[in-house]
Amino acid sequence: MGKETVMQRNNGPRVEVMTGNDACAEGALAAGLTFFAGYPITPSSEIAEILSYRLPHLGGKFIQMEDEIGAMGAVIGASLAGAKAMTATSGPGFSLKQENIGFAAMAEVPCVVVDVQRGGPSTGLPTLPAQMDVMQARWGTHGDHEIIALCPYSVRETFDLTVRAFNLAERYRTPVILLMDEIVAHVNEKVVLPEPDEIEVYERKLPNCPPEEFLPYKFTEDDIPPMASYGTGYRFHVTGLCHDETGFPTNDPVQIDRLIRRLNRKISRHRDDIVQVAEEQLDGAEIGVVAYGATARAARRAVRLAREEAIPAGLLRPLVLWPFPDKEVRALAERVSALIVAELNMGQVAHEVEWAVCGKVPVHRVNRVDGEPIPPEHILQAIREVAR
Amino acid sequence: MIDYTKYLRISKFPLIWCAGCGNGIVLKSILRAIDKIGWPKDQVCTVSGIGCSSRTPGYVDFNTLHTTHGRAIAFATGVKMAKPELHVIVVTGDGDATAIGGNHYIHAARRNIDLTVVIFNNNIYGMTGGQVSPTTPMGMKASTAPFGSVEPSFNISGLAQAAGASFVARGTVYHVFQLDKLIERALLKRGFSVVEVLTPCPTAYGRRNRLGTGVDMIRWQKEHTISVQEAAKLSPEQLNDKIVTGVFTDVDRPEYLETYQALIDSLRRKASLS
Ligand SMILES: Cc1ncc(C[n+]2csc(CCOP(=O)(O)OP(=O)(O)O)c2C)c(N)n1
Ligand code: SF4
């Protein structure tokens, strides 16, 4: 296992036609993935299929576990033993993984969880698109912690955000969710993959102290403790219980408070490094559209069509949904007179946008929950109505 | 006598276990087996789920992982796959391994991945206060079986045998010299190995069923167990109130990670030839 093997494979820019699921698998390998555990579920299964083929070629390991819970557990175990580890699933499997995602958050174990969203609740719509897991990504597991969730809207962006998901996971010692949707997962697009030396790969911060001084949950300047792997001379204890700096359970209110606040703070205080939005046609815009994932593809088109009709509309597209880009949305609300949030759910992000803008401008919603994508015309229609 | 302190995190003492609990006996037996084999502490990783028995990793100076309820074997699978040179030992309770964790248990046995699972079987959910477990014998009381359990119980060892484990044995905390050997053999076995250890829980199981103190319960083990060899000579009726101990399975089957490594090697060979 090791990154060199991955790099050797990536010689030169490659122009290819691939799907979002392909790009996710490739992005993971480019980021240094050496371990994948999963359980098949549409529309994510191709990620597992591709990696079952690619990983052993590269000296990495793939395992199809007996269920999603086991897959998430195996990913955490592998990460603690030093691997860059990932799993991929869809709504129902994402629900099953939640308890162990919480473990990864509590024990600060870097890993990537891909959720290719489909309609729900329950088994819902196996082959149809939806964006209904935005809140599950944020609040799916119990307890109070921050989470990072990224949301690509194209095939190339899926590659980039998968790499970024690994980098953020390693940097912040945390599980990172890659929220895809069925459209992005299955659409075929021409992409030019970056050359290996263009890809920035971050490795977790290792301890530089002697083993006897190692504190696996040390309070550091940046709130992110250096992390050792099992079997490297640093013997340490990992638990999902509240623990002190040594990693051992504690019931001391002071220690508990310190830990939970740090877990939240290590992400919230670095939100400016994490949050990423793309803007389109926002110069002089009076109507702002907020959309993400596949819906942003329709929103781009709608905004362009609106401009052709001389309606000054623009698009704000969050690439990162959690931490929520509240500052960016608020700044947009200062510049426009109305916001439209388009998404394939009943308004999960719209609600968050309303919170962010605090009634400064009206927030209109375009929602669809029937398994069909939102066509550009629906968003254009909403823009026209707001412009009137 | 081995120096237990070499392996224990003494600063984490006193243990959370009750007086009379058998868990400490199992812990010492595991440490003696590791000491006898001579594995360096850094090469050992102990993984547990949730329960009284699953607190064991907190007390031992290895690479230790206390996971979610029932999931120890899944986490251990990831550790082992990412670092095959680690000796990964799962320490778990009967409820942890065979109720919530039953699926991982049988599939790890089927895969025959090189893990050793030591199951502390106290016939009850100890940590949560004595609820019925898949191993509570029919008719015995539990806090959620106030009239006696109405369900037949699992044969934990039989389950592993049927699912394909390479080594399966049952011991008790009374037969501690035998237990040391069983654990040692399990640790040295390439493949999925299980040692089911019968251990008393006087607090949550014994008290409710009027089985006396921990010592009384251990004495009961002496009187009600029979070795595999002796059991073979008896009729099913004669075995009715007996619990069989000893080695049930010791076979050599392809181990999962060896098979996987062979796959990697053959793919690489092909790639270098082409
Ligand atoms: C998902 C989940 N469900 C339930 C529990 C509560 N719980 C903690 S320990 C336990 C049972 C433990 O029994 P066993 O594995 O037999 O271990 P023992 O305490 O007897 O050693 C349960 C049900 C939990 N921690 N997590
Ligand atoms: S409750 Fe039972 S199993 Fe748990 S420590 Fe006490 S005696 Fe042991």
Instruction: Give the mean model confidence (pLDDT) for residues A47-75.
Output: 98
Q: Which residues contact B265 (CB under 8 A, 6 or more apart)?
A: none
pLDDT of amino acid A7:
37
* Gap between the Cα atoms of A349 and A324, Å rounded: 9
Residue A10 has pLDDT above 70, yes or no: no
Which of A24, A271, A7 minimizes the C-alpha distance to A163?
A24
DSSP-assigned letters across all residues of B57-92: GGGBSSEEEE-STT-HHHHHHHHHHH-TTSEEEEEE
The single-letter DSSP state of residue B182 is H
List all residues 6 or more positions away from B210 whose beta carbon is below 8 Å from its beta carbon.
Answer: none
Q: Which residues have C-beta within 8 Å of that of residue B242, sequence separation ≥ 6?
A: B224, B225, B226, B231, B234
- The residues of B whose Cβ lies within 8 A of any Cβ of A are 9, 12, 41-43, 45, 47, 57-58, 61-68, 71, 73-83, 85-86, 103-104, 107, 260, 263-264, 267-268, 271
Sheet with strand A363-367: strands edge to edge: A277-280, A313-318, A287-290, A338-343, A363-367
Closest protein CA for atom 6 of ligand 2:
B18
The string of pLDDT tens digits covering residues A338-358 is 999 999 999 999 999 999 999
Length of chain B, in residues: 274
Tens of pLDDT along A88-132? 999 999 999 999 999 999 999 999 999 999 999 999 999 999 999
Sequence-separated (6 or more) residues with CB below 8 Å from residue B225: B172, B174, B175, B198, B242, B243, B244, B245
DSSP structural state of residue B225: E
Q: Which atom of ligand 2 is nearest to the CA of B205?
A: 2
- Hey, is B130 helix, strand or coil? coil
Q: Which of B15, B16, B98, B127 to mutate to test the pocket of ligand 1 (most atoms within 8 A of CB)?
A: B127
pLDDT tens-digit profile of A158-197?
999 999 999 999 999 999 999 999 999 999 999 999 998 9
pLDDT averaged over chain A? 96
pLDDT level of residue A374 (50, 70, 90 thresholds): very high
The reported pLDDT for the residue numbered A4 is 36
Query: Which residues neighbour B197 within 8 Å (Cβ) at sequence distance 6 or greater?
Result: B22, B26, B29, B118, B119, B120, B121, B170, B171, B172, B173, B179
Token pair belonging to A51: 């990696």
- Residue A313, pLDDT above cutoff 50: yes
pLDDT tens digit at each of 274 positions of chain B:
899 999 999 999 999 999 999 999 999 999 999 999 999 999 999 999 999 999 999 999 999 999 999 999 999 999 999 999 999 999 999 999 999 999 999 999 999 999 999 999 999 999 999 999 999 999 999 999 999 999 999 999 999 999 999 999 999 999 999 999 999 999 999 999 999 999 999 999 999 999 999 999 999 999 999 999 999 999 999 998 899 999 999 999 999 999 999 999 999 999 988 7
| CB of B133 sitting under 6 A from ligand 1 | yes
Residue B122 near ligand 2, beta carbon < 6 Å: yes
pTM of the model: 0.97
How far B188 CA sits from the closest chain A CA (Å)?
Answer: 19
Tokens 């964006």 correspond to what residue?
Answer: A131
Q: Which of B96, B132, B198 for a ligand 1 pocket mutation test, highest count of atoms within 8 Å of Cβ?
A: B96
Complex ipTM above 0.90? yes
CA of A31 to the centre of ligand 2 (A): 46
Report how far Cα A330 is from the mean position of its chain's Cα atoms: 22
Per-residue model confidence as pLDDT tens digits over A210-263: 999 999 999 999 999 999 999 999 999 999 999 999 999 999 999 999 999 999
pLDDT value at position A12? 52
Residue-level pLDDT at B274: 76
If DSSP states are collapsed to H, E and C, what string results for A247-261? CCECCCHHHHHHHHH
